[in-house]
Amino acid sequence: MGNSQTRHASRRTSQSTREAAAAQRHELIETEAATTATASASNSNQQPEAAPQGRRQQSLPSTSFGCGGSSRKSPHRPPPPAQALSVPEPEPVASNSIGVVTAEAETQAAATAATTVGLQQQLSTWSLGSLSGGRLNWSFSAARNSFRHRNKATRKSSSSLQGFRRRKTQWHRPLTNSIFNSHFKEASRNDQFQIEHLVAKGAFGVVFKVCNRTDTSSCYALKVLKKSKLIEDNSVRQIKDEADIQKVCGHHPFIVQQFDLWQNRHNLHILSEYIPNGELFSKIVDFSIDLVRLYIGEIALAIDFLHNAGIIYRDAKPENILLTQQFHIKLTDFGLSKWLKLGANTRTICGTFKYMAPEILCGEPYGHAVDWWALGVIACQMLTQKVSEQKSDNQ
């Protein structure tokens, strides 16, 4: 028991001794740090480049704690004087440790403020020298590689987008619509008209008399053609030429005018003006000489206009010659017409057999003269009410 009290008393005595020594050491360190900072500031004005090297060589000795640990002070702290080294190193208390760290931080900030210019200069020199080792080129090559990959990704995305648009167009637009899309729009107008009666039937479709639902006084002729029949007979180019020719020449007073074109999934529609008195021979049976002259003259004017426009008609017959409300004639149905320059020839065998010229029947090249042959046959028919019979070479 006595030994225990003796040990406790010695411990208290040693602890008080250590606290006094630590306080004395802290005062010495603060005084020496202030003196060193003043000397360093004066030396940095004279030799700014040598100061950092001298300060980097300064270090503090280790301080042993009572629990057996060790702590190294900041490398920028100057060493204590010789008389401080002779004092035994006591174990600092936690509160004193916090105070030492704060004083050291303030002293370090004051010591490094004078060497900022020299350190920045050395740092910049080191940084520029380090770029000569190839790292600069590597960064540029990496940028080029990333840019190349980014371009590839962009091209891939754009090409995939274009492919998607193409697939979308083909999916939402049927092939039969795409074939005729250059001339016939896809916006149908069938709900705007009401069918009155059937006018005529042809090889590819029918013709109806239709009236506008909002204005019943406006009547038109609606020609409906089946797409499947046109594609089967390879007449796609033919129907497009018919639409173009009637559109270009419809302003002539003796040619039926065309108003609109459209299509749906199965049919093509051509909207033209309605001619009320029908075909040439449906209203008139006996033709006087003067009436024959009048009608032949009007038909000749229409045919001559077509020829001058570079068009061969090839389907002049009474069924395609209509009578207006004032009993003037108008040509219609340009399904067999073709773009042909004056003086040029073609070999296609087409037309109505009774009104075909001999060179067409023989399969020889022919030109615009075949239309004048058909007009002569019509004039003979109006005068005699008969049509001459054509015979082939075998007969």
Cite the active site residues. Answer: 315
Which segments within the chain are labelled E, that is strand? 62-64, 70-72, 193-201, 205-212, 219-226, 258-263, 267-273, 311-312, 321-323, 329-331, 338-339
State the Cα–Cα distance between residues 388 and 383, nearest whole angstrom. 12
Burial class (CB in 10 A: 0-12, 13-18, 19+), 113: exposed
Which of 318, 320, 319, 324 has its CA nearest to residue 276? Answer: 324
Q: Give the Cα separation of 271 and 225 in Å (integer).
A: 12
Cα separation of 73 and 61, whole Å?
Answer: 7
For strands 258-263 and 321-323, give the pairing: unpaired
Answer yes or no: are the C-beta atoms of 43 and 51 closer than 8 Å: yes
Measured distance CA(81)–CA(103) in Å, rounded: 18
